[in-house]
């Protein structure tokens, strides 16, 4: 047998060891010792890296969006010693755990059991949807069609039908365990995601070329997590009291069009790049969407937490955007890039139109 990828959630922090645990989150290692059926060590002792904790975008109550610091999974490639059935993982500041190998070993990336396109072959934007915790292909395809219908009913996509297509990538998996787990869930938010590196490897194995990839999780709990250029986003197929699960996915699609986040929840890992729907000046005449503004300067049109009583359709400079309450400005009071329950603002619609026209 060749190398196997092992992946496990971190153990519970030992009381009073918060400082050591925090140091390990940033740059540390853990010790692994393989065990046989009798619990005796086999093979050599090894050190494995503990990756830095990612900060991920997550849906929140009321259609809000926030960023959440997460616990990193501990993952490592190894050849299994003869007779090994479990391993002991010892990380400073954490309880010792002894996971079983069968339960911990990641599946090898493989091509999808089936691949089906919904939408035009010559679509301008292709969304890859990866099945997680679906044991029935028909149920997964129904959700894919439902998401595509929601996209096509959302402006500005509704103005130009046929521009978006879905590549439905189905891998049959246990609805209780899934293929890309273990699932991690945030406290106080709707953060839900699994093994990001594993999903990226499965996506690469599929051979699909797409503008964005989303892992669609068949789970009776609303949630998801933002993606990056390297890792797919995550969305469950469960709505909330204020928005549909499709709305969360459409927010993620906005990022694939180069749109920046318009909410003000802090993101300590944010880059310094500024997207074309974000302004750094309160003056409506000097922002990238000045040609759309229907209010005069010097601005801002509304200070932080203001603007709710302005007439619908007001375009100017609304303070509070791109993870900051002050010094960053968005074009309108409401937008899908600020809350998942609202439509895209006119500036975001303009940018999307330019991409798919």
Extents of the domains making up the chain: 4-104, 114-256, 290-356
Can you name the residues that pair with 346 across neighbouring β-strands? none
Cα separation, 35 vs 41, whole angstroms: 4
Confidence (pLDDT) at 2: 76
Confidence (pLDDT) at 25: 46
Other CB atoms within 10 A of residue 241 CB = 8
Confidence (pLDDT) at 26: 46
pLDDT tens-place values along the chain, 357 residues long: 578 999 998 888 887 655 544 544 445 889 999 999 999 999 999 999 888 878 999 999 889 999 998 888 899 999 999 999 999 999 988 999 999 999 999 999 999 999 999 999 999 999 999 999 999 999 999 999 999 999 999 999 999 999 999 999 999 999 999 999 889 887 778 999 999 999 999 999 999 999 999 999 999 999 999 998 899 999 999 999 989 999 999 999 999 999 999 999 999 889 888 999 999 999 999 999 999 999 998 989 999 999 999 999 999 999 999 999 999 999 999 999 999 999 999 999 999 999 999
3-state secondary structure of 329: strand
9 dihedral zone (left: phi>0; alpha: psi -120 to 50; beta): beta
pTM: 0.92
Confidence (pLDDT) at 142: 98
Compute the C-alpha angle 247/252/257, nearest 5°. 120
Q: What's the CATH code, domain 114-256?
A: 3.40.390.10
Token pair 């891998």 is found at: 171
Other CB atoms within 10 A of residue 239 CB = 13
- Provide the 8-state DSSP code for 114: E
Cα separation, 64 vs 113, whole angstroms: 35
Burial of 55 per CB tally in 10 Å (0-12, 13-18, 19+): middle
Cα separation, 351 vs 276, whole angstroms: 8
Can you name the residues that pair with 6 across neighbouring β-strands? 76, 105
Other CB atoms within 10 A of residue 159 CB = 12
Confidence (pLDDT) at 1: 57
Confidence (pLDDT) at 14: 81
């Amino acid at each position: 047998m060749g190398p196997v990828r092992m992946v496990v959630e971190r153990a519970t922090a030992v009381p009073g060891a918060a400082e050591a645990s925090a140091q390990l989150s940033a740059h540390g290692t853990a010790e692994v010792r393989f065990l046989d059926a009798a619990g005796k060590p086999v093979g050599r002792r090894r050190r494995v890296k503990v990756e830095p904790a990612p900060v991920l975008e997550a849906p929140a109550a009321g259609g809000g969006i926030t960023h959440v610091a997460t616990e990193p999974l501990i993952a490592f490639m190894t050849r299994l010693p003869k007779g090994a059935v479990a391993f002991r993982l010892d990380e400073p500041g954490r309880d010792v755990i002894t996971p079983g190998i069968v339960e911990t070993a990641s599946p090898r990336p493989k091509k999808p059991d089936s691949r089906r396109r919904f939408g035009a072959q010559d679509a301008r934007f292709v969304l890859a949807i990866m099945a997680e915790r679906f044991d029935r292909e028909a149920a997964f395809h129904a959700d894919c069609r439902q998401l595509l219908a929601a996209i096509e009913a959302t402006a500005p996509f509704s103005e130009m039908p046929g521009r978006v297509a879905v590549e439905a990538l189905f891998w049959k998996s246990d609805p209780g365990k899934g293929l890309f787990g273990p699932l991690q869930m945030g406290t106080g938010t709707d953060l839900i995601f699994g093994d990001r590196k594993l999903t990226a490897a499965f996506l690469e194995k599929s051979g699909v070329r797409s503008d964005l990839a989303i892992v669609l999780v068949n789970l009776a709990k609303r949630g998801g997590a933002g993606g990056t250029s390297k890792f797919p986003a995550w969305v469950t197929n469960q709505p909330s009291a204020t928005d549909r699960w499709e709305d969360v996915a459409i927010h993620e699609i906005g990022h694939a069009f180069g749109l920046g986040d318009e909410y003000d929840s802090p993101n300590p890992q944010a880059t310094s790049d500024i997207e074309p729907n974000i302004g750094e000046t309160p003056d409506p005449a000097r922002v990238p969407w000045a040609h759309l503004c229907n209010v005069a300067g010097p601005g801002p049109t509304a200070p932080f937490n203001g603007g709710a009583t302005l007439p619908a359709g007001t375009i100017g400079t609304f303070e509070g955007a791109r993870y900051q309450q002050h010094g960053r400005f968005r074009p309108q009071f409401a937008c899908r890039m600020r809350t998942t329950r609202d439509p895209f603002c006119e500036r975001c619609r303009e940018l999307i139109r330019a991409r798919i026209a």
